[in-house]
């Protein structure tokens, strides 16, 4: 199947590189431009070192950092029209490579908290996909819940790309949604610290196996004075096996050569292992064509907006009061 991620690739192979970006320490809006310049430089250098590279992925929070004291104020936020995003787009066009970037995006409604956003930019510098985090990490992240669903876009080398952000990857429902829409490469960008290191790897593998798609996942790396971020970029095959696994080194580049057409063929030809197909036509041996009726109570309840666990009244942490006792701060930064 070729290399696991070298400087060259087969004509059908999707060569990807994930940058274990060092966690940025952001104290004000002036520090954002420093990160943007550094990200663009890293993109150009990585493409120069891996000439056949198709896709470069940067982690969550690599652009604007994780300073919870200031990260929701206006000066710390971007939009898709911000000059910083234009700089990312130009870097992709100049280097003829696709890339995934993170941004904390202003809400259309200034009275509401911002979004935690990822964009995929193509090799012409166009935004091919715009995603807003559906499952912010509660009870700490103050982001508005995403309102764009789980979009999928056509990528290079026969790939169909979707992206999720950090805690999104802990929800098998979101990976299934991406696959249901046709994604064969599921990208996960994260800013996790070490508390969930093992779960990070397990979920990357299970999301791949349950949906017969590649997963490529990268985390921030290094110490920001409070937490340590574990890096460990992970590439999983569509059978759930780990193809490549990064270490904990900031600036480590994790590369892999993927074959989207093989994932497509597995989905078309496998039987016992075809989990995503079998879900919707159960027991097609015992019942010709399989059973298609929904049997999942939680799906019905969620569709009606009535999702409620049997132990709902015993759940103690239901808001971010401990971290934001006065609510999320919006508007201009205090002088």
CATH number for 259 = 3.60.110.10
- What pLDDT is stored for residue 3 in this prediction? 52
Burial (CB count within 10 angstroms: exposed 0-12, middle 13-18, buried 19+), residue 62: buried
Active site residue 133: yes
Element (H, E) at 312: none
The structure's pTM equals: 0.96
Does residue 227 lie in a domain region?
yes
Element (H, E) at 127: strand 127-132
| Phi, then psi, of 46 in degrees rounded to 5 | -65, -45
Catalytic: which of 60, 105, 141, 177?
60
Active site residue 92: no
Does residue 119 lie in a domain region?
yes
Does residue 29 lie in a domain region?
yes
Beta-carbon contacts of residue 197 (< 8 Å; ≥ 6 apart): 230, 232
Does residue 319 lie in a domain region?
no
- What pLDDT is stored for residue 10 in this prediction? 76
Does residue 298 lie in a domain region?
no
Catalytic: which of 47, 133, 157, 160?
133
pLDDT digits (tens, 9 = 90+) for 237-246: 999 999 999 9
Does residue 121 lie in a domain region?
yes
Does residue 320 lie in a domain region?
no
Beta-carbon contacts of residue 30 (< 8 Å; ≥ 6 apart): none
Active site residue 166: yes
82 secondary structure, DSSP code: S
- What pLDDT is stored for residue 2 in this prediction? 38
DSSP line for 164-229: EEGGGGG-HHHHHHHHHTT-SEEEEEE--BGGGHHHHHHHHHHHHHHHT-EEEEEE-EEE-SS-EE
Does residue 334 lie in a domain region?
no
Catalytic: which of 40, 153, 164, 166?
166
Structural domain boundaries enclosing 103:
14-270
Domain count, the chain: 1
- Which residues in the chain show pLDDT less than 70? 1-7
């Amino acid at each position: 199947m070729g290399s696991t991620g070298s400087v060259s690739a087969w004509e059908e192979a999707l060569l990807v590189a994930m940058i274990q970006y060092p966690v940025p320490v952001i104290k004000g809006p002036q520090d954002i431009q420093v990160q943007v310049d550094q990200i663009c430089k890293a993109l150009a250098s990585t493409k120069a070192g891996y000439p056949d590279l198709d896709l470069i992925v940067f982690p969550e929070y690599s652009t604007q950092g994780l300073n919870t004291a200031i990260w929701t104020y206006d000066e710390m936020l971007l939009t898709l029209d911000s000059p910083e995003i234009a700089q990312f787009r130009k870097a992709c066009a100049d280097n003829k490579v696709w890339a995934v970037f993170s941004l904390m995006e202003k809400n259309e409604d200034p009275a509401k908290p911002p979004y935690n956003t990822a964009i995929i930019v193509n090799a012409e510098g166009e935004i091919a996909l715009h995603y807003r985090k559906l499952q912010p990490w509660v009870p700490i992240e103050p982001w508005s819940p995403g309102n764009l669903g789980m979009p999928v876009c056509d990528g290079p080398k026969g790939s169909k790309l979707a992206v999720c952000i950090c805690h999104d990857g802990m929800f098998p429902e979101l990976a299934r949604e991406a696959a249901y829409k046709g994604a064969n490469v599921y990208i996960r960008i994260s800013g996790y610290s070490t508390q969930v290191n093992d779960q990070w790897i397990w979920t990357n593998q299970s999301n791949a196996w349950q949906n017969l798609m590649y997963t490529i996942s990268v985390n921030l790396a290094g110490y920001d004075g409070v937490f340590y971020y574990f890096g460990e970029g992970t590439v999983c095959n569509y059978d759930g096996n780990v193809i490549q696994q990064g270490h904990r080194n900031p600036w480590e580049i994790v590369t892999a050569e993927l074959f989207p057409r093989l994932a497509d063929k597995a989905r078309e030809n496998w039987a016992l292992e075809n989990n995503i197909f079998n879900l919707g036509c159960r027991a097609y041996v015992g019942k010709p064509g399989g059973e298609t009726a929904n049997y999942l109570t939680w799906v019905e309840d969620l569709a009606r907006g009535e999702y409620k666990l049997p132990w709902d009244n015993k759940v103690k942490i239901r808001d971010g009061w401990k971290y934001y006792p006065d609510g999320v701060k919006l508007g201009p930064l205090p002088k």
